[in-house]
Structure 1
Amino acid sequence: MIEFPPQISQEEYLKVLLTDPLEKLKAIIEKNNDKYSYWSDVKYQKAPEGISSKELWCYIKASRRAKRIIVWKKYGISISITNAMQRMCHEFDMNFGGSWGSNSIIPAENKEQYLISSLMEEAISSSQMEGAATTRKVAKEMLRKSLSPQDKSQQMIFNNYQTIRFITQNIHTPLSSELLQQIHVLMTEKTLENPADAGAYRTNDEVVVEDAITHEVVHTPPSYKDIPSFIEDLCIFFNESDSKVFIHPIIRGIIIHFMIAYMHPFVDGNGRTARALFYWYMLKSGYWLTEYLSISRVIAKSKKSYENAYLYTEADEKDMGYFIAYNLRVLELAFKELQTYIKRKLDQKHQASVFYKLDNINERQADILRLINDNPKILFTVKELQNRFSITHTTAKNDIDGLVERKLVDEISLNKVKKGYVKGELFDKTVKSIT
């Protein structure tokens, strides 16, 4: 469990508000606000002489309170927008939307291929966070080859993938209670203990959020009786960007993510649904690059920090700044991972270019040959190639038949109907002749 921050009286707040902090103390406050440090990090810091840990915390809290905006009045949930948050949102505006990124980040000729891979990564990671035990390799093979899910873990990943695809096809559809329930059905089909819970709002207060290790209750959602009015408010918040107080769209998306998890409107699957709604809101708001980011993969790598961001918010006067700051860092890391991924793919494309020395070889066929060269035991199906390159069945079959004809690939029977494709008898000799 986390350590709760010390209680600060109104007199203590008033004292620091009437005191002009030293320049050195101002720098410490700014640094902690940039990171949105919690009490457990602040209390061990070295403050200027004569300033206790509690007084330093009081200065930090006072600076946050001065910028506080109430975002969900009924539950007293607020945010404090820091300079660091505004800088990051500006950078994301430059990189995630408009034409800048489209011309510089994603190579136009490979956009669809990158997109399919990114959607798979997002579906796999989001499901693994909720307990799906299938490996990435097995999960990607299932999705690429359009295989039927074999267990609950694979079903979770399949559902997540289908939900993301559904969202991308309905970006501009207004959110409604019915649509939210439909998304939950898509996300949880065949994975809940009680199938009737799919798409159904909870009807009791028996749901609590526990620590996975200690099983201590870390969050008790508001009453189920609040759910109808909450959903109505959520749809308004999601569909209407106009308000008396401007909130940056990225931060609004993170608020939506938090509020679904906070309210817990469904018996199970709230985390997956919350992340899907954030993804949807980002795309709806014009941040097209979100579709290529594996946000859940970054969250999965720092799951404890993700959980703590919720806990810190609840423990510290329902200040959602912790959750905002964490998710902005996640977006930043996801963008860097995308850049690394694209560089790797461009390097692979360069490696495949050696096969262009062969007559009448197209780009996809060159990439197939590169994959075989990298992994001589690899086995393809036409369906897998169709999904990998986002092409029609006819195009995929023509590509592979051309390689079979040249004996660079061999066709084998997987069953009475299905065919597979492996390294051909002339592959090694051909590669040797061009390298």
Structure 2
Amino acid sequence: MIERPPILTDSLKALDWTTLCESDIAYLNKLQDDYVYWSDIKYKKTPSGIEGINLWAFLKKLRESKNIKVYHPYHLAFSLTNKMMRLCHEFDMKFGGLWGSESIIPQRNRERYLIGSIMEEAISSSQMEGASTTRKVAKDMLRKKIAPKDKSQRMIYNNYQTINYLSTHIDKPLSIELICKIHSLITDQTLDNPKDSGHFRENNYVVVGNAITGEVVHTPPDYLEIAQAMQWLVEFANTNDINYFIHPVIKAAIVHFFIAYIHPFVDGNGRTARALFHWFMLKEGYWLTEYLSISRIIYHSKASYEKAFLKVEADNNDMSYFITYHLDALNKSFEELKKYISKKTAEQKDMSRLLRIGNINQRQAEIIYMFLEDEKLVLTVKDVSSRLIVSPTTAKHDIQGLVNRGIISEISFNKQKKGYIQGPSFSSAIDKVT
């Protein structure tokens, strides 16, 4: 658990904002932008020496002045910050429209990047919930379309199928049926009771606990309140309140939080919440979301992700902690994508250099590059077909051309299955272009 903020007395709530100097106000605005929690500031001071509970009281006053109430039954609200608005503006520029369609993702590699990112999202989201399969085994399973062998692989397979399903259903409004469909896809053949898949829980035998200590960190609302809460979520996602505008990216983060908070299902709530975030972003026109793996960022900062939820509940259901974390994670995901594309672009230049070997096409250059990266690599026609996103016939033709020149060699696994390794002419072919 985390330390709860102190309860403010009437005298603390009445502290006069006008007594603050400009440097104090600037300091408070910085704390507000970072959306720091009580335990992070209780030993800090403003330039003029305001500290402890007094500093917290002024910060709470600032937050309340920007407070937007979202769901009244549970007092869920958030405080809009300058940082939130700045990041949302950047996402508008980066994730939607025509800005990035040509400049960030090369057209010829778009499909391959998309498949890779969907795999990464499916794997990371499942690993967050305990899937123990390695990334390599998981990617092989998805690329080669191998049937899942255990629950961990099934979770990843289900997530992959769900994300692909979502991208074809962004033209539909959110509905109870769609939420339950997403859950049924995500949890297929993974629940103790298969009847729970795609259905809201019908009891209160569910808590969110610390996996290490066993401590209960969140008790979801009564199951009798689920129907009303989820109907509100549907209306929230499908309409814009005329009284105030909530930016779509913030709205997507709230959808994510709300599913996790309500915990409408017996299991699979986290995966469902992240899938719905993904769907909502695509629905709102943020097409680049398909190429991001926000779950990878969350997975590698899981403690911060979980703390964001705890801070919300500890501080009067102020969702700003979670929204701030979520926007930061989304931004980091975009930065990772840029680095990944930069790396792949450099690899493409190396592959193009291999074309100087002569009488090979771009795909064959990519096959040679795979062996150049891993001298012990063994490939099959199916491997090449899935990696290059071409038909098995095309993959076989490209491979055979390299076999005929001795650049790669064919080996037999058994009477039917063949594999391919570096051939006797591989090194001499590479030497020609290096």
Match of 2:137 in 1: 138
Question: Cα offset for 1:394?
Answer: 2.9
Residues 399/316 of structure 1: CA separation in 2 closer, same or farther (3 Å cut): same
1:113–1:389 CA contact under 8 A, matched in 2: yes
Task: Provide the C-alpha distance between the structure 2 equivalents of 1:51 and 1:433, rounded to a whole number of angstroms.
Answer: 71
Match of 2:4 in 1: 4
Match of 2:239 in 1: 240
Question: Cα offset for 1:400?
Answer: 2.1
Q: Deviations over 1:14-46 (max 9, x none)?
A: 2234x3421121111111111100001011212
- 1:16 equivalent in alignment to 2:16: yes
Unpaired segments ≥5 residues, structure 2: none
Q: Deviations over 1:386-423 (max 9, x none)?
A: 32222233332322232223232223333444333222
Task: Provide the C-alpha distance between the structure 1 equivalents of 2:153 and 2:223, rounded to a whole number of angstroms.
Answer: 31
Task: Provide the C-alpha distance between the structure 2 equivalents of 1:10 and 1:402, rounded to a whole number of angstroms.
Answer: 82
Q: Deviations over 1:355-383 (max 9, x none)?
A: 10133322221111011011011122233
User: SS in structure 2 opposite 1:2?
Assistant: coil
Larger mean CA deviation between 171-180 and 102-111 belongs to 171-180
Task: Provide the C-alpha distance between the structure 2 equivalents of 1:171 and 1:390, rounded to a whole number of angstroms.
Answer: 24
Task: Provide the C-alpha distance between the structure 2 equivalents of 1:10 and 1:46, rounded to a whole number of angstroms.
Answer: 22
Aligned ranges for residues 49-128 of structure 1 at < 5 Å? 49-128=48-127
2:357–2:432 CA contact under 8 A, matched in 1: no
Task: Provide the C-alpha distance between the structure 2 equivalents of 1:109 and 1:237, rounded to a whole number of angstroms.
Answer: 38
Quick one: which amino acid aligns to residue 292 of structure 2? L
Match of 2:205 in 1: 206
Q: Deviations over 1:245-289 (max 9, x none)?
A: 100000000000000000000000100110000011001101111
Aligned-residue RMSD, C-alpha: 1.5
Task: Provide the C-alpha distance between the structure 2 equivalents of 1:422 and 1:190, rounded to a whole number of angstroms.
Answer: 38
Aligned ranges for residues 1-400 of structure 1 at < 5 Å? 1-17=1-17, 19-400=18-399
Match of 1:406 in 2: 405
Quick one: which amino acid aligns to residue 361 of structure 1? I
Larger mean CA deviation between 423-432 and 286-295 belongs to 423-432
User: SS in structure 2 opposite 1:15?
Assistant: coil
Task: Provide the C-alpha distance between the structure 1 equivalents of 2:37 and 2:253, rounded to a whole number of angstroms.
Answer: 19
1:146–1:384 CA contact under 8 A, matched in 2: no
Question: Cα offset for 1:207?
Answer: 0.5
Larger mean CA deviation between 264-273 and 112-121 belongs to 112-121
* TM-score (structure 2 length as normaliser): 0.96
* TM-score (structure 1 length as normaliser): 0.96
Residues 89/419 of structure 1: CA separation in 2 closer, same or farther (3 Å cut): same
Unpaired segments ≥5 residues, structure 1: none
2:380–2:419 CA contact under 8 A, matched in 1: yes
Task: Provide the C-alpha distance between the structure 1 equivalents of 2:220 and 2:190, rounded to a whole number of angstroms.
Answer: 22
User: SS in structure 2 opposite 1:422?
Assistant: strand
Larger mean CA deviation between 174-183 and 91-100 belongs to 174-183
Q: Deviations over 1:29-77 (max 9, x none)?
A: 1111111000010112123445231010111111010010111122110
Larger mean CA deviation between 368-377 and 395-404 belongs to 395-404
Task: Provide the C-alpha distance between the structure 2 equivalents of 1:410 and 1:188, rounded to a whole number of angstroms.
Answer: 43
Q: Deviations over 1:170-221 (max 9, x none)?
A: 1212222222111111111122222222112100011010111111111111
Kindly tell me the number of residue pairs found equivalent between the two proteins: 434
Larger mean CA deviation between 152-161 and 319-328 belongs to 152-161
